[in-house]
Structures are given as structure tokens and as C-alpha cells.
Amino acid sequence: MPELPEVETTKNGLLPLLKNQMIVQAVRHRDNLRWEIPKILETLMSHQVLLDINRRGKYLLMRFEVGTLIIHLGMSGSIKVVDSNTALLKHDHFELIFEHGKSMRLNDPRRFGAVLFSKDGKHPLLDALGVEPLEEMFDETYLYNKSRNKVQNIKTFIMNSKVVVGVGNIYACESLFASGISPTRQAGKVSKKRYALLSQQIRDILNKSIQVGGTTLKDFSKVDGSPGYFAQTLNVYGREGENCGACGGKIRRLIQNQRSTFYCPSCQT
């Protein structure tokens, strides 16, 4: 699933190509993804200039004078910018055709993504989101304060988008390893000092991933079609049975909330 770094990478790739460009046509190549794609977009987007693109959690927010287009990449979605006369690919479900001859296309094989619209830029899906891990509110005490009396495991806690956004499965595993914290430890029993370290590791790992273009996943690629390269530096994720680079022990895998967790039992306590 594309997470915060992948969505940030997509945003950064789209901005120089599409900002301040005028839309000629919006095309729904299917009526719905996770939810219905608003039919009104086909007329509303005509002759609208893209003013800016922002990110909130895993949502792309494309701002126009008439309102904000809200896009989520779902489980396997990606966005490409191509020449507008380029043949459609299978699973190209939504398209913005721009006056300067480029098209932005949302490709989503599993159709768990979303294309929504808001006149004022607000939406219930956005209102429910927690803090951004790369902003000032996510300081060294935030996770500690939020975790008090929590009995759930710490990995599930930091992956809760109502607490903090964008810490997906890969980044949770890697951040916990870098902090030396067992993924099975109760969130409410982790000390303030360890949460301060974990917070810093989350920020550092997300920033490093953004710098190199996101994590190479099965279905993810950047706007220009090339993969991200953060996967080359993964310490535990996807490495079950391999030797830990820190201690030489074996990396293990367990299932938490129907997701695979990778960790080193020697390094993480």
C-alpha cells in the first residue's frame, strides 16, 4: 500500500509538471472506485487551473478555484503524467487532460482508491486523521502522552492513523527496530525516553524514504514510472530468516492485526 513517503513523492513529482496548468477535460473511465467518482467533475473541472497540490496523511489534495480534488491511492494505486495522446492502460480509471498536452492518470488495479471533491477542502475522512509525523506537533512527548493506559501493542498503536498518519507497515517495523522496541510490547508500558527515540526514528526514516523516492513495492512507482529505492536499506521488513545486520541473530516474522511484522528478538525488547 502506498504510504506517506510514496504519496509525498507523488505530490513532489506532480507539482512541477501540473501546477498552474489548465484542465481541458476530466474523464471518468469508470464510475466508481472505493466510492463513486463524482460525475460533476466532468463539467466542473473544465478550464480550471491547478493552483496547488498538498498532502494530508495518504491523501493528495489538488486545489482549484472551485474546490479541492481529494485523491487516495488505495492498496495499489499510482498516478502517472503522460502525453495526452498516449493509449490508456488497463486500470486507468480517472484522467485529467491538461491544455499543455499532458494527462494525469490514476491507475488502480484493486480499485480501493478514491477520487472525491470538496468545495471548501474539508472532508470527514480528513477530519479523522491524527498529526503529521513530519510537523512540529509530533514532538518527543506526543506519542508518550497519547499512549498512556493503552493496552494494544505498540506497532498497532503507531499505525493508527487517528494517532499519527503515514506510519505504514514497513515504516512501523523499521522504526521499531531502529529504536530497539519489541513490536509486541504494550503501548502504555513504553517509557517516555524510548518514545522520544521512537519519534525521532519515525521522522528520520520517513524523511530518508521521501528523499530517495519512497519504498519499492510490488505496485508502486513514481510519477515518471521509476521505482523508489528505500527498499534497498530495509533492516528487517521482508527479511524473515535472514541474519540481523546488528547482532547476527535471525529476523523473525509474526502476524499482528492480520499484517506481517518483522523484527529481531535479540535487538528489540
- Active-site positions read 2-3, 58, 259
In angstroms, the Cα distances linking 33 to 17, 29, 37, 108 are 25, 11, 7, 8
Strand (E) positions, 47-145? 52-56, 59-64, 67-72, 78-83, 92-98, 102-107, 114-118
Distance CA 47, CA 69 (A): 15
Amino acid letter at 183?
Answer: P
What is the Cα Rg of the chain in Å?
Answer: 20
- Helix, strand, or coil (residue 180): coil
CA 117 to CA 115: how far, in whole Å?
7
User: Grid coordinates in use for 6?
Assistant: 510514496
Which residue, among 151, 182, 147, 205, has the nearest Cα to 261 in the 3D structure?
182
Work out the end-to-end distance of the chain between its first and last CA atoms, rounded to an integer number of angstroms. Answer: 28
* Measured distance CA(259)–CA(139) in Å, rounded: 27
